[in-house]
Structure 1
Amino acid sequence: MTINLFSRVVPAIALFSAGIMLAQNYQTMPVSSGFTADVIANGIGSSNVSTNNDVDGVSYAFVAKDFQLTSTSAAITYGIPVDGVINSVVAGTPGLSYILGNLSGNNSLRLVAANDSGTLTFTTPKPAFTLYMLSTSGSGTSVVNVNVNFSDGSSQVFSNISISDWYGGANFAIQGIGRIKRSSDALESSSSDPRLYQTPLAIDAANQAKPIQSVVVTKVSGAGYPNIFAFSADVYSDCVPPVLQAVSGITANSALVSWTGNAASYDVYHSTSNTTPASSVTPTYPGVTGTSTTIGSLNSNTTYYYWVRSNCNTATGQSVWSFAGTFKTACSTFTVPYTENFDTTSVGSSTNTNAPSCWAYLESTSFAGYGYVAASNSYSAPNSYYLNNSTGTAGSQMLVAPPTINLSDGTKRVRFYARTGTTGTTLVIGTLSNPADPASFTQLGSPISLTTTHTQYTVNIPAGSDLQLAFKHGLGGTSRAIYIDNITVQNIPSCLEPTAVAPTNLTMNSATLGWTAPSSVPANGYEVYYSTTNTAPDASTVLNSSNSATSPSPSATLNSLSSDTNYYAWVRSVCSASDKSIWSEMAAFRTGYCLPSSSNQNSWLSAFSSTGSLIDMAYSSGSSVAGGYQNLTATNNKIINAPGATTSVSFTAGGPTCGIGVWVDWNNNLTFEASERMFVTGNYVTTTTGSITVPAGTPLGTYRMRVVTDFNSTGPSSACAAITRGEFVDFNFEVATSLSTSETSLKKKEISVYPNPFKDILHVADIRDVKSVTVTDVAGRIVKTIDNPTAELQLGELNSGLYLVTMNFKDGSKSTVKAIKK
């Protein structure tokens, strides 16, 4: 059996951990004299100036982070820290650091030949349990002896200490600090090299109380060049910190911490921060005389850190703080209502099962499936909870909710969304008497058969004794996926809300909403709230004639809406003047046609023209618009033809070849249905022709026509898609048997040109009302614009081919004709 606990919900089964190592009192040992070489290039200028020697005998030195060859050189991102502080990364000595010598002066005891030696004298002698040496060896490994001299004149010798080459060795304190060639100022960087190494020198018990005054380092052997840079110490004290033990007795607001030691008393300090307290900090619990204490007044479901120090009856008096211990308090029992949408929990995986804090993933012993928070298939983005039984067909796997006060008193319900990857997969809702034992699951009602679409479900929790809710996989076949989202546990209201709110009968200015009445039909009907924002109404929302409606039955018509606008609506039951249900789930609708989009507009509808209609159109464009959708129904770009008549059409795609499709909403229901696709290509084209036939019997009026140009589809199948490259353009297709006066005037503005094809000059039959002429090629590019044109258009510079010649009239209207250049 596996219980994956992001934070366990049961106080009796609590997460804990504590430091079990003895804390050290690490202090640096600054060197007052003895360095013989400056091997760290720093500041502005050549490395040959800021150093006087190399590390390895072949001209390479270390480089500091502030090195610049010139004041305009780019800053480097690697190197020795400018403050000279090296924080050791050796795992066994957390908190140990070193302080280097002056980066602008000698900073290394550099030894060349066997028997070369040097003495490093410390600024402040200190006694130590262990002395740590920071060093490296250039051009190969080397072996040294270290003689540690104490202030009483005695010494301790450490023989045959091997120092690794500055590239590739183990037990490094720092790596990836870069180097520079002094002869050329060529920089070299690596994420792992070069390195400085940490060597521990354990001081004998008889010497630990003696201050260390100096060290003498002597090269014994090896081809490498040893460089000694710094020392630090675990400073001796006869008052040692205690050793922490495992935390126990964890509740939602307290924990019992314990330790071992033999001091007269102890101080305890705790915090939600993992920063080690200073010696001057005021303890939370000072002067504890035993070896345990209860830390109280804590917040539930919170991670805490704690430290303990000894108060000794000796001259030293007080130890440093121990290593940090840590624990997490248990979750409090939840009260309703509460909601979990999984959006603030880190995503898990099949090998890293998880659940939100105070929730749990629970499965039978050796169950093959998994459950975790997934960043996909959500009802509300971005996350959902994912259960997959993999090859498991027997046993249990479930998501367990937090313990809930009075969960099974008969007055609670749970609402949630769920879907599956395989229609018919079931989800079982139930409760647990023991949240660590899947066998204690009690099923509530019948299994829920899921579909591949997120659906909201509501389950009332009957009277009983269990305090924890669980969502159990119904198993069945293998690898059945279940996604759960937006779980709400709440009191069962006295006035139940409607469900399944859905829009019907949409027009440009109205919509009808229908819904399913609750099992107990409200005595006073329903209230509907609608808005152009998706913010749900609450107790502060004021209903008025511009944002609401009432209805005695499960439907309502909303009038006087704005056209081409997104609306959101909610419905609630009115059981009495003082008792109303919560609002239903949101329903969204649009008073107009769907809004398609394209993420790339490098393909577009370059030209669209018609012939044979009562009024023909000649549209052209040199580019698309941002978003890939244009609504041109308010312009003169329209076709007019009679019922049953056929209009010849031609299209040009801008950019590379595309697929093209045309829909006309003949039933004016604001939807482009499959049967209303009137033209479509069968392959990728640049130019193409076809026809659109008005269905016989179509009522006279204006209809929305949408042209789709899609770079990724030979035959576009949706007029409402979000495509990756292309364009959607809306026009009007008007059905009429004769032309109005204004349309007749528009028809008269069609101007003929000759000769066609032409060689150099294209003549315009009537130029009087023409303000300018625009010439466009078949790719939609404007190749020439002529302001205040004459009847003779000089077009001799154009290449041979087909062009669209657009007459721009002084009243703002246009007329476009095709012309062929020989």
Structure 2
Amino acid sequence: MIINLFSRVVPAIALFSASVMMAQNYQTMPITSGLTADVIANGIGSSTVSTNNDVDGVSYAFVAKDFQLTSTSAAITYGIPLDGIINSVVATTPGLSFQLASLNANNSLRLAAVNDVGTLTFTAPKAVTKLYMLAVSGSGTSTVNVVVNFTDGSSQTFSGISLADWYGGSNFAIQGIGRIKKPGATPAAGDDVPSPEGGTNPRLYQSELVIDAANQAKPIQSVTITKASGSGLPNIFAFSADAYSDCAPPVLQAVSGITANSALVSWTGNAASYDVYHSTSNTTPTGSVTPTYPGVTGTSTTIGGLNSNTTYYYWVRSNCNTATGQSVWSFAGTFKTACSTFTVPYTENFDTTSVGSNTSTNAPSCWAYLESTSFAGYGYVAASNSYSAPNSYYLNNSTGTAGSQMLVAPPTINLSDGTKRVRFYARTGTTGTTLVIGTLSNPADPASFTQIGSPVSLTTTHTQYTVNIPAGSDLQLAFKHGLGGTSRAIYIDNITVQTIPSCLEPTAVTASNVTLNTATIGWTAPASVPANGYEVYYSTTNTAPDAATVLNAANSVTSATTSAPLNSLAADTNYYVWVRSVCSGTDRSIWSESATLRTGYCLPSSSSQSSWLSAFSSTGSLIDMAYSSGSSVAGGYQNLTATNNKIINAPGATTSVSFTAGGPTCGIGVWVDWNNNLTFEASERMFVTNTYITNTSGSITVPAGTPLGSYRMRVVTDYNSTAPSNACAAISRGEFVDFTFEVATSLSTSETSLKKKEITVYPNPFKDILHVADIKDVKSVTVTDVAGRVVKTIDNPTAELQLGELNAGLYIVTMNFKDGSKSTVKAIKK
């Protein structure tokens, strides 16, 4: 049996990590005397005021974060920390830090020449196992010798310690702290200007001095440092230590008594008392950290005041009756507090939980995947088949046809008091697969499952289900796979546990009879039909209504039945619709799940517009069109039905059409919605290519008996299809353009006027000059090639268009009239 109880009680043993090493007793070693130079510029004013020396012998010093040349100078974001604490980033000494001396006084032991020597005396002598030196060498590397002086008069010598140049060295404790050049007698332009030095320089380095075992119990009084060799200038800033103790740390035992806000931790040892420290971070505490529970007598204590469903880390150290007093901190222990019992309502949509797999089952925090011993199936959060993107919960029984697998909800207050219900969406990959809803008396035992009602028979479409939870004693809800055949997949999403409302909401909201401006909304009545009917709210944004939403005549209607008409809708617009029950003047249900509708034709799209409809023209109609474009628009869809781009022809008549694809070759298809039902059916595809083309031609025949009127015509240009078959697709490259195809037996006055504006050009083909038959109302002429590129524009043209510079080929010549209308013809240059 697999139990995956994320953030329920961790099994009753503490979780120890082998990668967490025993904590070190790091302590700073404050210096009381021996520093000889102030090499850190700080505060307001010239660096010559706040320093008395440099780091490198050529006037460069460190800079602190508060340095400003004047009070109006821009603040810097780098530099030595103002508190002088350097937290080392050396990976082998996590938690080690150094304390610099005052930034307003000498803060470096500066050794300029070979054999220069200095002694740093510590404020409080300490016994240590390791000593750490924070130092750097300016203007090149150097080598120093260090003598560690103990309080009993003995010493230990460390020879040949190499110090890296303050630029570019390894094993640095800190980097990117910047520097500044101190002005000389004749200041230069770059003096007193702090520089971040690329954010990685200069640096301070950490050197480790391991104290011999025979000396580890001896307190260190001072260190004497001598420059041994090298061209660089040693600067020694601070020391820290791993303090010695002969007091053994305790050994942690299993954690017990874990609740939502406390845990009982215990250990073994024989010390007089113990300190306990806990944190949500697994950062090893330093020796100077303040314990959470100091001076605990005995070998256990309860850590309280914790947050539920949270991972904690803890350490214990001994307080011994010896001169050295304290042990180092123990190894780290860890535990996770239990989940608090959930109150209703609560919802889980699985979208914030990491995705699992069939070899790594998982569940959201405080939920669990539970299965019988050796069950073959699996359950986990999946990034697919969701009702609301991106995730759902996936159960698959694999070859398991007996036993149990289920998703277990968190413990819930008063779950089985007879007033609660669960609502959820679910679907299956095999129609008829069942999902069983029930409760558990023991969340770790599948056999404690009690079924509620009949199994839910799922379909391949996400459907919302509501199950009332009967009175009983169980606190945990479970969703159990109904098994059946092998490899039955179930997807669950958007689970809500809530109190059963006094006024029940309608379900299964749908839209039908949709036109450009109207629609009919229908729904299923709840089990208890509301006495005062229903309210229907609609919006062009997918924001669900709430208590603050004001219903009015522009966004809502009421109904006494299970349907309602919506009128005066905007054409070609997406709408979202919700319905609620009105049980009384003060009692309304929650809003239903939303339904969507579109008052118009589907919205296709293209992720790339590098291919498009460059030209589309017709001949032989009552009114012909000549469309051209040098590019597409973002999204790859244009609705041009409100323009003059239309064809007019009679029922049963045939129109000759020709097309040009912009960019590389494409497939082209044309649909006309002859039945005006806002859908482009397969039978309404009136033209299609059967190979990739740049230029092609064909015809469109108006079906005999087609009523007079206007019809939507959609042209699809698809880079990836020789024969486009879907007028509503989301394609990767191409364009969709909507035009009007009008069926008429004669022309109106305006259409006759438009017909008269058609211009004749000759000769065609032409050599150099193209003649225009009637130029008097033409304002300008635009000439484009078959790729849609404008190759020439002529303002205030004459009847003779000089086009001799054009290459041989087909061109689209557009006459732009003074009244804003256009006429387009094709012309061939020989």
The TM-score, its normalising length taken from structure 1, stands at: 0.79
Q: 1:206 to 1:323 in 2, by over 3 A?
A: closer
Q: Are residues 1:444 and 2:443 paired?
A: no
Q: Which residue of 2 aligns with 1:544?
A: 552
For 1:260 and 1:400, the matched residues in 2 are separated by: 38
Aligned AA (1:207): A
Contact 2:26 2:286 in 1 (8 A): no
> Contact conserved, 1:147 with 1:155, CA < 8 A, in 2?
no
Aligned 8 A contact 1:428 1:443 in 2: yes
Deviates more, 1:577-586 or 1:312-321: 312-321
Partner residue, 1:168: none
Which of 333, 338, 342 is the aligned partner of 1:330?
338
Residue 436 of structure 2, aligned match among 420, 425, 428 = 428
Give the Cα separation in 1 of the matches to 2:29 and 2:749: 98
Letter of the structure 2 residue corresponding to residue 752 of structure 1: T
The SS at the match of 1:623 is coil
Q: How much has 1:705 moved relative to structure 2? A: 0.8
Q: Residue 2 of structure 1 aligns with which residue?
A: 2
Q: Residue deviations 1:481-539, cap 9 Å, x none? A: 43221101122334332221111111111110112223333333322111122111223
Alpha-carbon distance in structure 2 between the residues aligned to 1:30 and 1:725 = 72
Aligned to 2:127: 128
Instruction: Give the alignment of 1:616-765 within 5 angstroms.
Output: 616-765=624-773
Where do residues 348-497 of structure 1 align in structure 2 (5 Å cutoff)? 348-390=356-398, 392-476=400-484, 479-497=487-505
Displacement of 1:377 in angstroms is 2.7
Aligned to 1:40: none
CA distance in 1, matches of 2:507, 2:579: 8
Q: Trace 1:85-234 onto structure 2 (pairs within 5 A).
A: 93-97=93-97, 126-132=125-131, 149-150=149-150, 152=151, 155=154, 200-201=210-211, 203-204=213-214, 207-208=217-218, 210-211=219-220, 213-214=222-223, 232-234=240-242
8 A Cα contact 2:90 2:171, kept in partner: yes
- 2:498 is equivalent to residue 505 of structure 1: no
Conserved 8 A contact 1:248-1:257: yes
For the pair 1:24 / 2:32, whether they are aligned, the reply is no
SS of residue in 2 equivalent to 1:530: strand
Distance 1:610 1:360, change over 3 A: same
State the AA in 1 paired with 2:496. Answer: T
After TM superposition, list the pairs within 5 Å mapping 1:266-281 onto structure 2. none
Secondary structure in 1 matching 2:583: strand
* Separation in structure 2 between the aligned mates of residue 385 and residue 108 of structure 1, nearest angstrom: 66
The answer to whether the 8 Å contact 2:512/2:520 transfers is yes
Q: What do the CA deviations read for 1:287-312 (whole angstroms, capped 9, x no partner)?
A: 54444333334443234455666667
Equivalent residue for 1:813, pick from 817, 821, 824: 821
Specify which of 581, 591, 594 is matched with residue 586 of structure 1: 594
Select which of 512, 519, 525 maps to 1:517. 525
| Deviation of the 1:239 alpha carbon | 7.4
What is the Cα deviation at residue 400 of structure 1? 1.0
Helix, strand or coil at the partner of 1:660: strand
8 Å contact kept, 1:22–1:242: no
Q: Which amino acid is 2:4 matched to?
A: N
Deviation for aligned residue 1:172: 8.1
Equivalent residue for 1:803?
811
CA distance 1:135–1:96, shift in 2 (3 Å) = closer
| 1:788 alignment partner, one of 788, 796, 799 | 796
Moved more, 759-768 or 694-703: 694-703
Shift of 1:331: 1.3
Q: Shift in Å at residue 154 of structure 1? A: 5.7
Matched residue SS, 2:582: strand
- Provide the C-alpha distance between the structure 2 equivalents of 1:653 and 1:119, rounded to a whole number of angstroms: 85
Task: Name the aligned partner's letter for residue 691 of structure 2.
Answer: N
Q: What displacement does 1:756 show?
A: 0.6
Q: Secondary structure at the match of 1:738?
A: coil
Secondary structure at the aligned position of 2:820 is classed as coil
Q: Distance in 1 between matches of 2:315 and 2:802?
A: 92
Is the Cα–Cα contact under 8 Å of residues 508 and 591 in structure 1 kept in the other structure? yes
Alignment of 1:228-243 (within 5 A): 232-236=240-244
Number of residue pairs aligned between Structure 1 and Structure 2: 765
Deviations, residues 16-72 of structure 1 (Å, cap 9, x unaligned): 66989465234369899999xxxxxxxxxxxxx9989xxxxxxxxxxx9x9xxxxxx
CA distance in 2, matches of 1:584, 1:414: 15
Q: Give the Å deviation of 1:752.
A: 0.6
Match 2:308 to one of 300, 309, 313: 300
Determine the C-alpha separation between the residues in 2 that align with 1:497 and 1:14. Answer: 48
Kindly state the Cα deviation for residue 586 of structure 1 after the two structures are TM-superposed: 0.3
Change in CA separation of 1:794 and 1:22 when aligned onto 2, cut-off 3 Å: closer
Give secondary structure in 2 for the equivalent of 1:470.
strand
Q: Cα distance, 1:710 vs. partner?
A: 1.2
CA RMSD, 1 decimal? 5.0
Q: Distance in 2 between matches of 1:660 and 1:733?
A: 17
Is this contact kept in 2: 1:766–1:791, CA < 8 A?
A: yes
Change (3 A) 1:22 1:702: closer
Indicate if the aligned counterparts of 2:638 and 2:738 stay in contact, CA closer than 8 A.
yes
Paired letter, 2:437: I
- Per-residue CA deviations over 1:684-713 (Å, capped at 9, x if unaligned) read 111111111111111111111111111122
SS in 2 for 1:688: strand
Unaligned runs of 5+ in 2: 37-53, 58-62, 66-79, 102-106, 136-143, 165-169, 177-196, 229-235
**Pairwise CA distance, 1:680:** 1.4
CA distance in 2, matches of 1:81, 1:747: 82
* C-alpha deviation, 1:160, in angstroms: 13
* 1:398 CA drift (Å): 2.1
Q: Contact (CA 8 Å) 2:668, 2:724: kept in 1 or not?
A: yes
- Asked if the contact 2:536/2:556 (under 8 Å) is kept, the reply is yes
Separation in 1, partners of 2:373, 2:119: 62
Which segments of 5 or more consecutive residues in structure 1 lack a partner in the other structure?
Answer: 36-48, 53-63, 67-79, 110-115, 137-143, 166-170, 178-186, 220-227
Change (3 A) 1:107 1:368: farther
Conservation of the 8 A alpha-carbon contact between 2:504 and 2:528: yes
**Does structure 2 retain, via aligned residues, the 8 Å contact 1:31–1:120?**
no
